[in-house]
Chains A and B, each alone.
Chain A
Amino acid sequence: MFDTSFYINQVIPALNKGLLVSLSLIFPSAICGLIIGVIIGTLRANGKGIFSKIAAGYATIFRGTPLVVQLFILYFGLPNIGIYLSPYLAATLGFTLCSGAYHSEYIRGALLSIKKGQILAAQALGFSQWSSLVNIILPQAMRRALPGCGNEIIYLIKYSSLAYIITCIELTGEGKIIATKTFRFTEVFLAVGLYYLIMVTLAGWFLKWIEKKLYVPGFGKNR
């Protein structure tokens, strides 16, 4: 039943190739998404007027629609108005914009959870606004946002599989090609699933490790 040579000769080489494409989608999207999330989240938490409204609108729209739709608009829709994106670029852009919206939610929550009294206390000690942001607010907000943002990156790893739908052939796409060719869907997709499980589990361990490194006794418990 278990066909080792099928895995060694066909499945694993193809999936490894796909894995590289997946990773090249995930890393830039995760980093850019986080940056967008911090900007949007800060605007939503502190900003006033039009900018904070735009930021809130952006987050609401991207969190309220499926990633598949966003990807389809970017890849199949934009050519209607003369904008042509490669599958890879459309996928990376879609992942970045979508995960940025979710990150902003956690960043905003983290910023809002820090008690006003601490800002007052910092000001009373003579901290400048910038200095109290960097030294007092951010170190706390970062810790508060970490579990949520970490989870979001794990989501991103899994949803990177949707790149296949807009013809960017990554891990899932390579799997689909072999499976269709050989009609061995169960074997191939169990292997594909295992690749994702390993990625997600490793990322989970890494995040746990960071959380542990940044752990402060009693912090975040009295919310």
Chain B
Amino acid sequence: MLHSLEVVISSLPYVLGGAVNTVAIVVGAMAFGFFIGLPLSLVQVYGNNILKFIANIYVWFFRGVPVLVLLFLFYFGLFTLIDLNISAFWSAVLVLGLRGGAYQSQIFRGSIQSIPEGQLKAAKALGMTDVQGILYIILPQVIRISLPGWSNEYSIVLKDSAIAFVLGTSEIMSRTHFVASRTYEQLAMYLCAGVIYFILTWAGVYLLKQIENKLKIPGYTI
């Protein structure tokens, strides 16, 4: 018992260093996912049939295949096939981002569709182009309506980032695993990892809730 505690405390700085990498992966993946998900959702709502079809296939693929399989497929398979020589860290960001884009597009699509159609019509009646209407009227609302979905997405990506340890990314999980297998204090170390993830999950959710409150508009139902 005492030995477990000693191991946990002495390895804590090392493991917390991994937490920094975990957060970096999550932030990177979510940002990348945003830039995929938003255009994808616009295509799914406003695009022509061919574009819609392509977008739907993308979403179907990335939502249907497990993260672990995607990581193996891209890191060991496709990335080497196209001679893309990137680190495990960036592979994790890329794969989680590609996948997150599919999920985020569903969040944004739902938000776009929840805005009454009349608003785009009113924008056009004032002489705005379609692009202006989407840019100034639809998107500012989409971002607000999507925040709760985004907070949920954060908690999913954070937990999925733990799977990236199979690539040897130096985040919480692989550092815990490293210490655990050398000290034989598996239970204590993995519980410690659990606590760190737990704090990161709920702290992030709380932070996003604060942003949500800040952007809140009276009477605007999110």
Contact = CB atoms under 8 A, between A and B. Distances in A.
| Touching chains A and B, CB distance < 8 Å | yes
B201 A65 contact: yes
Interface stretch (B75-83, B113-121, B125-133, B209-217): B75-83
A161 B60 CA distance: 18
Given A69-B162, A196-B69, A197-B61, A64 B201 contact: yes
Interface residues of A, number: 41
Nearest to B75: A185
B50 interface: no
A80 B66 contact: no
A133 interface: no
A78 B64 contact: no
Given A172-B69, A186-B73, A66 B187 contact: no
Interface residues of B, number: 43
Given A66-B173, A69-B194, A77-B191, A196 B201 contact: no
B186 A77 contact: yes
A187 B80 CA distance: 13
Main secondary structure of the interface of A (DSSP, over half): helix
Main secondary structure of the interface of B (DSSP, over half): helix
B194 A164 contact: no
A176 B158 CA distance: 24
Interface of B: 4, 60-61, 63-70, 72-73, 76-78, 80-81, 155, 158-163, 165-166, 173, 177, 180, 184-188, 190-191, 193-194, 197-198, 201-202
Interface of A: 60-61, 63-70, 72-73, 76-81, 158-162, 164-165, 172, 175-176, 179, 185-190, 192-193, 196-197, 200-201
The list of the 7 closest CB pairs from A to B, nearest first, reads A186-B77, A77-B187, A185-B77, A189-B73, A66-B162, A185-B76, A66-B159
Given A185-B72, A196-B65, 8 more contacts: A61-B194, A78-B187, A80-B186, A81-B187, A158-B65, A190-B73, A190-B77, A196-B69
